[in-house]
Structure 1
């Protein structure tokens, strides 16, 4: 069959669908990987009770269109360490087509990732087991969820075709940054206004491209550049958690004190927009310090920083507000 459409009205059973049809439908929409925004994204961590135990947090994943959900912490007993040699174990999400199941599995002494027509695995973490080890700590666990070679994060915005516009975009970006550098060196106090001008220039260029792109391509390209790709460093945090933590970033615009009420858009309440979670990227400088990057549309150049409570901060600049929590 070279042409296929889904779903269509079935008349007297002439349009019957099975699980593979639904899986193919979702496969075309979502890439393989862990769902970053659901639960704790299947994070692997040491058991709070210590000993040779691990816990996989709640979360979800997509494997070739099939969905997996874990609704609560899932505990694993780590096999006893060898008395003579070290080993490396791994934890994977395994889709077994023949068994008709998706489960989280522990692989002793094995860090391979099987991906065949019948078995497809996503590696969540590797665990270093030194000889004679009797306890598993956070430093023994290597998080592999962000590694696209073995896992990655599931996204609906992948492989957007830009129809040969890469060179034009590259030249535009180069000219934008050259202009930014020249003007910034002349007057450093105009940096914030300059950033706004460059974003407006890029938006004008992008709007002109919409005649050459269909609605889906234009929308996806804009989401990819502005909303989904954390490329701009916004804040550095020192902490005393003793492990490599996760970060949650909430963002909103307008609100009390950010702009005169008469200048707020009519659709915005007097107390500002409702906060929402934005993508972020963490760079761990060490066990007690990290840098946070956010998409350019949410970036700030010189925000006012207020510490709300331990490991939780508020950033505010112009109409933009951001709440950062590490845990």
Structure 2
């Protein structure tokens, strides 16, 4: 089908949706992983005693399907190998098989070896696993040696996050282009302002020169020396005209 759409009310059986339709829809928005509070996920694996571990309550999301555990779950690991250590994994397993259709927590038993490795996670179109922890059991031991928390490792688990992102690269490019335009406009404005100020200063000089020339000429015409200032000029003599300026 080239075009797909969902979800619409059914009329006489013409709109039917299976679990994969819903899972495909939700997979567009969220990544696989564990739900968390302040980046601290739940579903922690802890040692109880002997070969027992437990999983705390919490929620997860796998391939569009929801998992929720509401109370502690107790696990008992198989007896230790007499010769070699092994590493088990505690996993959440999504099983799409028609006789399963669930997400549940399981112990995934490792293989004893001189240098034991954790079992590989199964991830295909039917089974999808995420790992909560590695549990090491030494040779001949009656208790657990170590628990390695894997909940924050995005390669095997990780935190649920949104797949809807903002194209910040494009926004940054547009912002940079805008700032370049503003810098260019600023430069042009500063150049124009400097030219205007230069012309204004020149006009002021020209005006003062013209005024001085006119003033000197008019004094010769009226035959009276005119003095202008805020204080009475000391060089004033009889017959001079003093114009007092205020301010």
TM bin (shorter chain): 0.5 to 0.7
1:11-50 aligned within 5 A:
11-37=11-37, 41-47=42-48, 50=49
RMSD across aligned positions (CA): 2.7
Deviations 1:191-237, CA, capped at 9 Å, x for gaps? xxxxxxxxxxxxxx9xxxxxxxxxxxxxxxxxxxxxxxxxxxxxxxx
Q: Give secondary structure in 2 for the equivalent of 1:165.
A: helix
| 1:167 Cα offset (Å) | 6.2
| 1:161 Cα offset (Å) | 4.8
> Structure 1 pair 4/71, CA: closer, same or farther in 2 (3 Å)?
same
Distance 1:120 1:129 in 2: 25
Query: What residue number does 1:135 align with?
Result: 143
Query: What residue number does 1:146 align with?
Result: 152
| 1:165 Cα offset (Å) | 2.9
| 1:163 Cα offset (Å) | 6.5
- TM-score, L = length of structure 2: 0.61
Query: What residue number does 1:162 align with?
Result: 167
Deviations 1:55-91, CA, capped at 9 Å, x for gaps? 0111111111111111110000111112221111111
| 1:118 Cα offset (Å) | 1.0
Query: What residue number does 1:223 align with?
Result: none
Give 5+ residue unaligned stretches, structure 2: 111-117, 180-247
Using CA pairs under 8 Å that are at least 6 residues apart, name the structure with larger relative contact order, 1 or 2. 2
Is 1:77 aligned to 2:76, yes or no? yes
Query: What residue number does 1:111 align with?
Result: 119
Structure with bigger gyration radius: 2
Query: What residue number does 1:121 align with?
Result: 129
Deviations 1:115-156, CA, capped at 9 Å, x for gaps? 00111000111011122222236xx1111111111111112x
Distance 1:142 1:63 in 2: 21
Distance 1:165 1:45 in 2: 45
| 8 A contact 1:85–1:131 mirrored in 2 | yes
Give 5+ residue unaligned stretches, structure 1: 172-204, 206-327
Distance 1:76 1:84 in 2: 23
| 8 A contact 2:25–2:64 mirrored in 1 | yes
- TM-score, L = length of structure 1: 0.47
Runs ≥4 in structure 1, deviation > 4 angstroms? 166-169
> Structure 1 pair 55/158, CA: closer, same or farther in 2 (3 Å)?
same
Distance 2:166 2:56 in 1: 35
Distance 1:32 1:82 in 2: 34
Q: Give secondary structure in 1 for the equivalent of 2:61.
A: strand
| 1:30 Cα offset (Å) | 1.6
Distance 1:6 1:164 in 2: 32
Query: What residue number does 1:10 align with?
Result: 10
Task: Give the number of aligned pairs.
Answer: 167
Bigger proportion of residues as strand: 1
1:93-112 aligned within 5 A:
93-98=92-97, 99-109=100-110, 110-112=118-120
| 8 A contact 1:40–1:58 mirrored in 2 | no
Q: Give secondary structure in 2 for the equivalent of 1:51.
A: coil
